[in-house]
Amino acid sequence: MSSDLTSQKCEACTIDAPKVTKEESNELMKTLDNWIILNEGFDYLEKIFTFENYEKAVDFSNDIAALADIEDHHPQIILEWGKVTVKWWSHKINGLHKNDFICAAKTDLLLK
Domain ranges of the chain: 2-7+16-109
pLDDT at 3: 52
Q: Which pTM was predicted?
A: 0.91
DSSP string over 12-63: P--TTPPPPPHHHHHHHHTTSSS-EEEESSSEEEEEEEE-SSHHHHHHHHHH
pLDDT at 44: 97
pLDDT per residue rounded down to tens, the chain (112 residues): 445 887 777 776 778 788 999 999 999 999 999 999 999 999 999 999 999 999 999 999 999 999 999 999 999 999 999 999 999 999 999 999 999 999 999 999 999 7
User: Which CATH superfamily, name and number, covers 2-7+16-109?
Assistant: Transcriptional coactivator/pterin dehydratase (3.30.1360.20)
pLDDT at 27: 95
